[in-house]
Amino acid sequence: MELGTLWFGLIAFLWIGYFVLEGFDFGVGMLVGILGRDDRERRVVINTIGPVWDGNEVWVIVAGGATFAAFPEWYATLFSGFYLPLLLILVALILRNVAFDFRGKRNDPAWRRRWDWCIIGGSALPALLWGVAFGNIVRGVPIDASGEYVGGLTDLLNPFALLTGLVTLTVFLTHGAIFLSLKTAGEIRHRARRFATRIGVPATALAATLLLWLNADDPTPAGWVAAAVAAVTLIGGQLANLRGREGLAFAGTAIAIAATVINLFLVLFPDVMPSSLDPAWSLTVGNAASTPYTLTIMTWAAAIATPVVLLYQGWTYWVFRKRISLASIPVDDHA
């Protein structure tokens, strides 16, 4: 396997990890105001992701760094052409992350509500815009012969990209609700299960539409297999949720997200950023990659560091695996 193809696969793996882990993270953030009826309940919701949300964001940082190092042409065109959406994602993530730390600094309901809105908005906007961005990457954008993005903002707001954004938004909501039902006890757990059932229906319908559209335009056996796995596990996750099997339900939505990302990258390959103006102007694994020497050094570094990071993050989830409830939040808690 060529090193360029290897790193294309590794970047796909990083995005799978990000969307599976940050997906439920975003979902929980969006549900703070829906499933948390008062401040103590909202604290329970937030505390389910408190130990892990910052670790989940490492995946996107590494994905961006790997893209910069392995495919500098892809990185340059992507960040110049998608400047505004990526800036909005960055601002939303900053507000969200600050809100996690600042909402408890004052025992003032109005203060905490304002930061709660930052958590909600800072979760919803990236959940939508990441889908829009990937929809455009897969479908192609206006790239000229020199590899420069020559379109405008309206070019990014096409039906396929907007559908992809709605899929990520609703599937992440479903994923987050199921995670909450897995991590909480009492009334919040039951509310989360009911919400996952309600939002899961439109999420499944939108995801099925996207998968059919994606594979109908560029049909391959591997793509259809990935789409079938995504559809079956998403539906299976919904059925498991109805039966109160939260662990199986969460595994179903996680596998569905992973399979969908795999499907997107399968359709994209061997391009990394197709040109909608002329296929000959597309950025590919071959013409956008760094030198073999650079990729070799990166491969050795990844081989050493990746297992350590995965073990550490897995250990974190194991340590904080137990359910939490209102009993975990004292009435007089001001922290």
Residue 334 falls within a domain, yes or no?
no
Burial label, 197 (beta-carbon count in 10 A; 0-12, 13-18, 19+)? middle
Distance of alpha carbon 210 from alpha carbon 167, whole angstroms: 8
pLDDT band at 50 (very low <50, low <70, confident <90, very high): confident
Domain assignment present for 162 = yes
pLDDT tens for each residue of 99-148: 998 988 888 888 999 999 999 999 999 999 999 999 999 999 999 998 88
Residues in the chain: 335
* Structure tokens given for 260: 């969908």
Q: What whole-number distance in Å separates Cα of residue 290 and Cα of residue 218? A: 27
Residues 175-199: tens digit of each pLDDT = 999 999 999 988 999 999 999 999 9
Q: Over 80: is that where the pLDDT of 331 sits?
A: no
Q: Does residue 335 sit within a domain?
A: no
In a domain, 273, yes or no: yes
Average pLDDT, the chain: 91
Q: How far is CA 174 from the centre of its chain?
A: 13
Mean per-residue pLDDT for 272-281?
A: 92
Q: Is residue 138 assigned to a domain?
A: yes
Instruction: For residue 105, give the amino acid letter.
Output: K
Do the domain assignments include residue 53?
yes
Q: Would you give the DSSP letter of residue 279?
A: G
Show the domain range for 107. Answer: 3-328
In a domain, 160, yes or no: yes
Look at residue 202 and tell me whether its pLDDT is greater than 80. Answer: yes
> Residue 5 above 70 pLDDT?
yes
The domain total for the chain is 1
Residue 28, domain member (yes or no)? yes
